[in-house]
Amino acid sequence: MSQNRKPEQESNQEPSALVLERVTYLREQLAHHLYRYHVLDAPEIADAEYDLLFDELLALEHAYPSLHSVSSPTQRVGAPALDQFEKVQHARPMLSLDKASSREELEQWMQRCRNRLGDVALTFTCEPKIDGVAVALVYENGELTLAATRGDGNEGENISANVRTIGSIPLTLSGEASHLAPKLEVRGEIYIPLDRFHAFNAAAIAEGEKPMVNPRNGAAGSLRQLDSKVTAGRPLTMFCYSLGGSEGDWQPQTQEEVLSTFAEWGLRTNPALEVVADLDQCLHYIERLELRRDDLGYEIDGVVIKVNDLSQQQVLGSVTRKPRWAIAYKFAAQEATSVVQSVDFQVGRTGAITPVARLQPTFVGGVTVTNATLHNMDEIARLDLHVGDRVMIRRAGDVIPQIAGVILSQRPTDAKAVGLPDGCPSCGSLIHRTDEEVVARCSAPRDTCPAKRKEGLKHFVSRLAFDVDGLGDKLIDQLVDQGLVSNAADLFALSRDQLIALERMGEKSADNLLGALKAAKQTTLPRMIYALGIREVGEATAAGLALSFGDMESLMAADLHALERVPDVGPVVAKSVQEFFAQPEHCDVVAALQQLGVNWPAIDVIAPESLPLTGQTWVLTGTLETMPRSAAKQQLIDLGAKVAGSVSAKTTVVVAGPGAGSKLEKAQSLGIQVRSEEALLELFNQYKKEVE
C-alpha cells in the first residue's frame, strides 16, 4: 500500500502563478524554519514537517527548471554559522546526499556509477543513516584540535569546547604515533541514544525543566550551548562515518579501511556496517535493517550506501553539493489510521486560508500525530473529507504526516462535510476565491486583520528580511494583541518600558531586543523590498527590482510596463507590486520607517537594454557538470537573458549537457542554436573580461 515519492517530471510549460506563489511560500517557510531550528534552537515544526516542505520545493524546482535559484534553500546544506561561535572554513565541503526510495532508483544510481567508471569491479558499503548532527573533527598528531558543525557545507561553527565534553570522542587517538596521520579530519554524526533521551526528559520533567523536543533537536541544541558545562550534562555520543581528509603516509584505499582504522584509533564506528557486491545484497541489507529499526536504540531514517573504493569516489566526484558516489535510501512510508476530530482554518501573511485537520492523537513512525495540513479546499474535495472520518495517515520518508485517503467504509452516519467558513477566522471579513487560483483569501487589508498583521510582521523580521534577533513569533503575537504594534514601523518606536511590561520579558531581554532593532535599521534595498511582504515577491525578485529601479521611490511609482521590463517579472508579479503600493497604508509604513531612522541606501540602476543578452531567451537542459544549473541561470539573467523552462520558436539558444532529451530534439527540429556547457562558460568568461 505504500507509495514512493518521486520527483515530478520536468515540465515544458512555464510555471503558473499558483506554482510561483507556492514556491515563494515554500522558500520563505524553509528559510524561517531553518533559522528557528539552527539559530534560535526553538523549532516550530517537527523535522518531518520541514522535510515535506523541502521535498515539495525540490519537486517543483525539478518540474520547472526556470524556477531554479541559487538562493533557494534546496541549494543549501544546513544553515549559516552562528555569530556567537567562531566561524570555521571546511577544507573540503561537507556534502549532502541524494535520495532513493525504491529498487529502481537505487539500481539507476548504481548504473550511473558504472557508466562513469567503465568496466571495473564495484563494491558498496551500507550503514544506518543516523538522525543526528553532522560534525567534523580535526586531529593533529593524534590530538583533537578542532570540532566544527557542518553549517552551510562550506563554513561551520567551532564547537570544540562542547565536543570535548563527549566521552565517546577521544581527545587523543590511540595507536603508535608513527602510524597516525599528521593531520586528519574525521566526519560523523553526533546523536542521543533513545534510552538516554527518555531518561533525560523524565528527569527534566521531574525537576520542572523543559524537556527536549526530540533526539535530533536535543543533540543540535546541546552542541550549540555557549556554556560547555551544559553540554557535558547532555547524553551525547557519536558514530564516525567518513574521512574528510588526511595528510601524511596514511592514504586509505577503501571506505571499509577508513572505518576499520578509525576503530583501531579509538574512534566510535557503527558495527552495522557491511560491504556488499551488488544491488540484491544491498536491498537485503536494507530489508534486514528496517526490520531491526525499532531495536537499534537510536533513530535512523534510512541507509547510506557508498562506493567502497576511494579512488573510484574521486573519479565520480560530486554535482550540486551532492556526491555521485553516495546515496541515502529512505525507508518506505509508515502508515496508520486516525479520526478527523475537526478542521480549523489558519490565515497566512497574504490572507491565504489554509485548512488544517485536527486528528485523534495517533502514534506513527515514532511521533504522536495530531494535525495534518490539507492545503486548500480542492484537496478536501479530492479526498471527500468529512469531520468524523477515519483516515489513512502517512509519514513518507519521515516527513510531515499527510492524509492519504478516507476509509469510506468506516464513515459514521453523523460525519459532517467540511465547508469554507463564511468569514475570515481572524477578523470575520469576507473570504474571496478567484477562478485563477485554488487558494481562498481573507479580503481585509493587512492592517485590519490580526492574523495577516502578525504573519506580515513575522516575515518582516525574518532572517532574509530585517533579521531582528530575539523578536520571535510569540513576542510578535503579544505586541499585536496588546495593541503596541500594528505595522512594521511600530517595531522601531517601541520603548524599554513597553517591552519590560510584556510577559517573560526582563530588562536584559528588552535591552537586547532594542539593540537588535537599532542594528536592523541599517539594511539594504533588496532586503527592504523583500521585507515588505509583497505577494509573489521573493528574495530573488526583490533583488531584481532593486537593481532595476535603484531606490524605493522609483519602485513605488513604477507602472506595469516598467515593472514587466524587470527580468523574471511577468504580468502577475508586476500587478501584485503595483497593487501593493497603490494602497496608501503600505506607502505610509515606508515613510514611517524612514522617519524612524531605518535606512536602505539607493543602488546603481542597471538598465536592461544595456545588457548584452537582452531580448534573448535561453533554455538549459541536461546536466551541467561544472556549475549548478541555478548558478548558470542567474549569470544568464545578470547578462539580460530570459531563462525559460521549455523550448519554443522564440528560444534563442539551448545549452545542452549530458542527458539532454526532448528539449534538445525540439531545438534541433526548430533549427535553434545549441551550445555546450563549455561554450556557455566561455561566454561568461568573455563578458567577465569585458567588464574588468
- The residues that are catalytic are 129
Collapsed DSSP state (helix, strand, coil) of residue 20: helix
| Host H or E run for residue 203 | helix 194-206
Determine the number of helices (DSSP H) and then strands (DSSP E) in the chain: 25, 26
The DSSP secondary-structure symbol of 254 reads B
Q: Tell me the three cell numbers of residue 266.
A: 579509538
Q: Which letter, b or e, does each residue of 155-193 get, where b requires 16 or more Cβ atoms within 10 Å of its Cβ?
A: bbbbbbbbbebbeebbeebeeeeeebbeebbbbbbbbbb
Distances from the Cα of 616 to the Cα of 328, 564, 629, 639, 651, angstroms: 40, 15, 18, 10, 7
For the chain, the distance separating the N- and C-terminal CA atoms, rounded to the nearest angstrom, is 60
Residue type, 436: E
Beta pairing partners, 368: 363
Collapsed DSSP state (helix, strand, coil) of residue 433: coil
Phi, psi of 273 (to 5 degrees): -65, 135
Phi, psi of 202 (to 5 degrees): -60, -45
Q: CA 60, CA 567: separation in Å to the nearest integer?
A: 21
Cβ pair 623, 658 in contact under 8 A: yes
Can you give 356-402 as a three-state secondary structure string? EEEEEEEEECCEEEEEEECCCHHHHHHHCCEECCEEEEEECCCCCCE
Distance of CA 370 to the CA centre of its chain: 23
Q: Tell me the three cell numbers of residue 479.
A: 505586541
Residue type, 68: H
* 452-457 long-range contacts, CB within 8 A, separation 24+: 452/347, 452/348, 452/349, 452/350, 452/351, 452/426, 452/427, 453/480, 453/486, 453/487, 454/480, 455/347, 455/348, 455/349, 456/349, 456/488, 456/533, 457/485, 457/487, 457/488, 457/491
Distance of CA 306 to the CA centre of its chain: 24
**Longest C-alpha distance within the chain, in Å?**
78
DSSP string of 630-650, one letter each residue? HHHHHHHHHTT-EEESS--TT
Cβ pair 33, 57 in contact under 8 A: no
Q: CA 29, CA 25: separation in Å to the nearest integer?
A: 6
Beta pairing partners, 387: 416
Selection from 618, 620, 603 nearest residue 677 by Cα: 620
DSSP string of 118-163, one letter each residue? -S----EEEEEEE-SEEEEEEEETTEEEEEEE-TTSSEEEB-HHHH
Can you give 511-559 as a three-state secondary structure string? HHHHHHHHHHCECCHHHHHHHCCCCCCCHHHHHHHHHHHCCHHHHHHCC
Handedness of CA 205, 208, 214, 216 (dihedral sign): negative
